[in-house]
Structures are given as structure tokens and as C-alpha cells.
Amino acid sequence: MVNQYGYGHTQGPQLFDTAGGYAAQAPGGQAQPVLQPPVHPSVAAHTEAQYPTSYGTPPPAWGTGTPPPMAPPTSMHGQQPAQYSAYPDHLAQATPPPPSGHFQGAVPNLNGWNDIPSHLISGARGKSRPGSGAATPAPAGLAIDPEEALKGIESPAGFIVAGLSTILDTVKSSADPSQQRMVDDTEKRLDNLFERLASEKVDRVVLAKLVTLVRSLNARDFGTSNAVAQDLMTTSFDVEGKWVVGLKRLAELYQRI
């Protein structure tokens, strides 16, 4: 091919420039290499992250139904995270047992008019059982000499019935209406004593104690009367328990008049 100056030359192959155009042809038909502009490192890293050059397992795509992995809980200063429970420890504590015993309120100067005396219950608990060791000794009875107590009394039974009936009438006439049930029960128990006296079933020692009690009540010597009533509750309750409770209650009611 002849140019405008009359010189001929051989046209070599043209190289396409990726930037848009053809690369300049070097002398002798050799094309000069095209120089690419420098790429900033951050741009290169971003491009490589979006279009990795190595092949492997692609990361899971978010938003397609697969939840992202949950990171384990962390705490400050390397401590374990607090554990929470549906049943707190303070609610899991054992409930104290319900209180035991009876719920009858205390009566001033009276031990519950229809209760078994506490000293008799404790005395029954103190009795020995087979193989349980020595028994608890029973309390000593009140020292009353029957001969001295019954001296000059022709009919101890009649003296006792007359004296207790008079005291009972005094209690009935001055009793509060709220005590009527107690008074009626006391009278029934004394009727049992009167029946046993009429049938001569009461021991002579018990007769002496009853005479002493009637005398002390007539003299309003309540220290002696209470001591005798307590002694009868302790020593004669097993045999005479039905009327002994009423006798002790009568002495207490008469003392409150």
C-alpha cells in the first residue's frame, strides 16, 4: 500500500483497545500493549468481594427463609449470663407445715369447761410403755387424814350433798346467761356424784376430801378448795372422772361470784 508520500508499508494486524478504539500499531507490525489505569485498593477489594475469583461453597443467601445464625450470649468481664427459670427459687421453697393444736380460746380462771384436764393428758403420756424405761412418778396426793376430816360428821354423804347443792343453787342464781350451758352440764355431773354417794360407792378417802372441800367453800377458803379439787382430778379421775370435772368447775364458778 502506498501512502501520500509515496512510500509503501505493510499494514500489520490492529489490536482492539478495551477502553474503546484500536491500539497503535508498533513499527514492524507489532502492536504496543495497552496500559490500564491504576485501580484503587478499596475498589479492588470491593470488586473481589462481589465477584470472587476462587470457587467454593457460596454463602447462604439471606431473606430466602433461612434464619441467620444466632451468636451465643456474652456477658461483661467473662461472667456467665444469668439463667432465668419459670419457677424462681424463692417460690420453690418448702411451705411450712400448718400449725398444730386446738383452736379453743383461753377462758380466764377456767381451763375450757368441756376439756380433759391437761395434767391428766400429760400424766397419760408419761406412763411407761413396754420397753420404754422407767415410768414418770405420779404426783403425791393431798395429805388429808380421813379420821380427822370425818370426825363429828354422822353422815358424810348427806353433809356433802347438802353442802354442794347449796353452792350449786348460788351459782345458778348468779350465773350469766351465756354460762347456762356450762351450769347445766355441771349439775348433771354432780347428780352422778350424788348417785354414787347414795349407793355408797365412793371411797372413804375420797369422802374425806369432799368434806374438806365443802367446808373450805363455805368458809370461802378458795386456796384449800382449789387444792382439794386439783388433788381429786389427779388421784381419782380414773374412777370418779365423770363428776370430778363438774366438781372442779363448780368450785371455780363459785369463786367468781
Condensed to tens digits (0 to 9), the pLDDT of residues 13-45 reads 444 444 444 444 545 555 555 555 565 555 555
Residue 49: per-residue pLDDT: 53
Q: How far apart are CA 235 and CA 241, in angstroms?
A: 10
Using DSSP's 3-state secondary structure scheme, residue 203 falls into coil
2 within domain boundaries: no
Predicted TM-score of the model (pTM): 0.49
245 within domain boundaries: yes
Tell me the CATH number at 187. 1.20.940.10
Nearest to 245 by CA among 138, 110, 145: 110
147 within domain boundaries: no
Residue 22: per-residue pLDDT: 46
225 within domain boundaries: yes
Residue-range definition of the domain harbouring residue 190: 154-255
3-state helix, strand and coil shares in percent for the chain, rounded to the nearest 5: 45, 5, 50
176 within domain boundaries: yes
Q: How far apart are CA 212 and CA 190, in angstroms?
A: 17
Dihedral sign for Cα 12, 18, 19, 21, please.
positive
Query: Which set of grid coordinates corresponds to residue 181?
Result: 350451758
Ranges of the chain with pLDDT below 50: 2, 5, 7-10, 12-24, 26, 101-110, 119-139
Total domain count for the chain?
Answer: 1
188 within domain boundaries: yes
110 within domain boundaries: no
Grid cell 456467665 — which residue? 80
Residue 143: per-residue pLDDT: 82
